[in-house]
Amino acid sequence: MWQILKKELLEITRDRKTLFFMIALPILIFPLLIGGVIYLGASAASDAKAKSLDFAVITNVANVELADKLAAVDNLNLIELTQTPSSDEEIAQLIKSGELDFVLKIPDNYGDDLLNSGQILITLYLNAAQLNFVQERLDEITKEISERNQKAAFEILGVSPEVQTGLLEPIKIERENVADQRETIGATIGGMIPYFLFILCLQGAMIPAGDIGAGEKERGTLETLLLSPISRTQIVLGKFLTLCVAGVTSALVTVLSIAIWSLVVSQGFQIEKVAEFMSSIDLIDFLLVFFMLVPIVAIFSASLLSLSIYARSYKEAQGYMSPLIFVVLVPVMIALMPGIELKGVYAWIPLTNVALAIKELVKGTMDYFQLLAIFGSSVLLAGALLYFCVYWFNREKVLFR
């Protein structure tokens, strides 16, 4: 059995294609892709913020301070309209045609004397389907003017600063989150972690699985292997362990790569938050996640090996194995549904229970008693599948198709 494991692993490390998918992809390609998407998103947003916008002001008031201040902003250009549009449709047309990016309609009561003017209702015409942060840029300036005028009005009325805050916001709700930071972050990302881990384990085991079963048939080495003086069970176990090692390695490499890259990326501004979150998870919880993955990987490996040895060729094996990804997704999706918790019958559904447990562990709200159900059902299923695989390997009609 160990001889087979040793030889299969040697073969895997000699195969550039397998190594590429198992090591290079998670270490370099995935982070580059994800990083690329984040970078593009961020740069699109900053481009939009920096984009130069043309605007016009429609008003009967002379010397609108707001308009002057906006015009003074670097990338906002005040355009003098030759002809004042009379209706909303005409204004809309100006924006739709691209002549202007936004238009402000300022009412006649505009002025600094708040006590006389009352609320000033300015209409902003814009195409909200475009990302250009018009509102954000306007708010900056209107807030400044509003606060100044507010203060002046209060002074005239002789209202003390304490009363001022009360008047402005008579009742204020202050949120106090009793869930610690770990639980909050854990709830958001905890559901995604098993999703990634499962797929990675499956993917990692799937790459060598085709070679190890159907590949032996295709190359004509299976017969010789079967004629070696070792039992079929030993052959199965050797190959099964190879797939387990590949699955776990692939998952570990990816997780490490994600951890390292996120540390690198978050260097400087968020590192404390990440470090704090990570350190709040016990080593035991990390180990538990790992140990729960072991029977999961065993389930995957036994299924993959059974499919692969049944197939006549590597290509056929790929065809049989690919749908397994969707089969795996279903129990994980059950775990992601709201209201489904790690108790009762859900604690006994393989894969779903591990997905739920990983989420609980990350959140720090694990009911450790449920481990019994989790390991019980996972090990039982893995054992049954492995038993089937051994039985399958002893069938002449499977080996000599």
Partner 1 sequence: MIKISNLAKKFKVENPKKLSEQDKKDPRLQGRYFHSIKDVSLSCDNGEVLGLLGPNGAGKTTTLRVLSTALEPDQGAIEINGVDVIQNPVEARKKIGFLSGSTGLYGRLTGRENIAYFGRLNGLSDAQIEEKITVLAKQLDMETFLDRRSENYSTGMKQKTSIARAVVHDPEVIVLDEPTTGLDIMATSTVIEFIRSLKEARIPVIFSTHHLDEVAELCDSVAIIDQGITTFQGSLDDFRAKSDASLHHAFLACVKKENV
List interacting residues with partner 1 (CB under 8 A): 3-4, 7, 10-11, 14-15, 219-221, 223-231, 396-397, 399-400
Task: Specify the residue, 20 or 400, whose C-beta has the smaller distance to partner 1.
Answer: 400
CA distance 398 to 389: 11
User: Any idea what DSSP says for residue 282?
Assistant: -
Residue for token digits 């065993």? 298
Q: Which two tokens stand for residue 395?
A: 């069938």
CA distance 22 to 208: 10
**What is the smallest separation between the CB atom of 206 and partner 1, expressed in angstroms?**
18
Task: Specify the residue, 18 or 203, whose C-beta has the smaller distance to partner 1.
Answer: 18
Q: Name the nearest CA neighbour of 60 among 128, 124, 122, 106.
A: 106
**What is the smallest separation between the CB atom of 310 and partner 1, expressed in angstroms?**
13
Is the distance from CB of 342 to CB of 356 less than 8 angstroms?
yes
**What is the smallest separation between the CB atom of 213 and partner 1, expressed in angstroms?**
14
Q: Which two tokens stand for residue 345?
A: 């019958």
Q: Which two tokens stand for residue 34?
A: 């994800």
Task: Specify the residue, 5 or 73, whose C-beta has the smaller distance to partner 1.
Answer: 5
**What is the smallest separation between the CB atom of 357 and partner 1, expressed in angstroms?**
38
Residue for token digits 């106090």? 176
**What is the smallest separation between the CB atom of 231 and partner 1, expressed in angstroms?**
6
Task: Specify the residue, 201 or 311, whose C-beta has the smaller distance to partner 1.
Answer: 311
Task: Specify the residue, 1 or 265, whose C-beta has the smaller distance to partner 1.
Answer: 1
Neighbours of 5 (CB within 10 A): 17
SS3 sequence, 52-120? CEEEEEECCCCCCHHHHHHHHCCCEEECCCCCCCCCHHHHHHHHHCCCCCEEEECCCCCCCCHHHHCCC
**What is the smallest separation between the CB atom of 201 and partner 1, expressed in angstroms?**
24
User: Counting beta carbons within 10 angstroms of the beta carbon of residue 82, is it exposed (0 to 12), middle (13 to 18) or buried (19 or more)?
Assistant: exposed
Task: Specify the residue, 7 or 148, whose C-beta has the smaller distance to partner 1.
Answer: 7
**What is the smallest separation between the CB atom of 220 and partner 1, expressed in angstroms?**
3
Task: Specify the residue, 5 or 92, whose C-beta has the smaller distance to partner 1.
Answer: 5
Residue for token digits 């995604």? 192
